[in-house]
Amino acid sequence: MNTVQPGILSEETPLARYLVFTLEPGSNPAPVLQAFGDAIEGEKTVVGLGKSLTMALGKNIDGLETFPVLAGPGFSVPATQAELWLWLRGEDRGELLHRTRDLTQILADAFAPIQVIDAFQYRGNHDLSGYEDGTENPGGDDAIKAAIVSDRGPGLDGSSFVAVQQWVHDLDRFQAMPESEQDNTIGRRIRDNEEIDDAPESAHVKRTAQESFEPEAFVLRRSMPWADNIQAGLVFVAFGHSFEAFEAQMRRMVGEDDGIVDALFNFTRPVTGGYFWCPPMKAGKLDLSALGL
Ligand code: HEM
């Protein structure tokens, strides 16, 4: 019986680390992945595999694509597709560092780390712009329905498809806006998180209103703020039973549906983009049977 990687559905932790790995030329990922899948611990680590990795194993996961490159007026939505993505969840920065070292060691025969992002919670589920993030996230059974694959058979049921983007905010620019303009950018009031009914069509929550898509486009967002010494923003993370809902939202955000661009682009830009398949678990280990492992 397959189960979902528990970190996908459990409460967000105060801290996290997102790691991205590339496959070393000429290496054989199969034995490394097998050992890695056995070492994954419950809620603490979520694992996603890129299409190019499944290709290196001679397998195909239906619905696993590479991240699309999109563009809008004056900006692009880049793809920086890699082979392996890890979301380490925790509450102690030192412990996250040591887990990074341990997992990197297990992967070292085939994979090299290419990006590490330290993430954290800001005022419990707030984006660094100050707005609460996740209000309209599905919960309970609705979260499972939105995010987890079902009725596709053993090895696939319990898996999930995740879209990941690092966004860099221009917080000076955002903070220079009057509060009414900030509210109209998001489509909610910062004061009380109420949705603004007559917000402009460019407001982020109008662009992405999940029920307004045909078919409805629900995703489970598990984004977290990040910051380094110079820049700051959001690591946007959305799980779905396919990439369709995320992609419909993203395409509408850049203006593909009606020429109206999401007002978010007035102060923030994505700098990475990747699609990954998160395998299910079986008996406490990653179930990689869909990849012949
Ligand atoms: C810097 C990037 C982003 C920021 C700061 C941001 C922030 C927010 C905030 C504050 C809300 C309102 C509260 C809530 O329901 O969570 C929201 C809603 C939402 N966002 Fe984003 N978001 C970002 C990127 C994205 C992207 C890339 C997508 C999908 C392509 C997306 C999809 C959604 C969805 C589906 C909702 C809920 C809409 C609804 O059904 O009401 N967001 N976002």
Question: Rounded distance, CA 78 to CA 235, Å?
Answer: 14
**Cα angle: 67, vertex 70, 71; to 5 degrees:** 160
Q: Is 244 in the pocket of ligand 1 (CB under 6 A)?
A: no
**Band of the pLDDT at 133, cuts 50, 70, 90?**
very high
Q: Stretch 31-52: mean pLDDT, rounded?
A: 93
209 lines ligand 1 (CB under 6 A): yes
| Helix-, strand-, coil-residue percentages of the chain, each rounded to 5 | 30, 25, 45
Question: Closest ligand 1 atom to the C-alpha of 193?
Answer: 13
Enumerate residues 6+ apart whose C-beta is below 8 A from 152. Answer: 62
pLDDT digits (tens, 9 = 90+) for 60-74: 999 999 999 999 999
The values of phi and psi at residue 26, to 5°, are 75, 5
> Which pair of tokens denotes residue 177?
């806006």
**pLDDT tens digits, one per residue of 145-159:** 999 999 999 999 999
- Name residue 38's amino acid: D
pLDDT over 80 at 41, yes or no = no
Distance 207 CA to ligand 1 centre (A): 9
Which tens digits make up the pLDDT trace of 156-208? 999 999 999 999 999 999 999 999 999 999 999 999 999 999 999 999 999 99
Q: For residues 119-141, give the mean pLDDT.
A: 97
Question: Residue 196 burial (CB < 10 Å; 0-12/13-18/19+)?
Answer: middle
151: left (phi over 0), alpha (psi -120 to 50) or beta: left
Is a pLDDT exceeding 90 seen at residue 278? Answer: yes
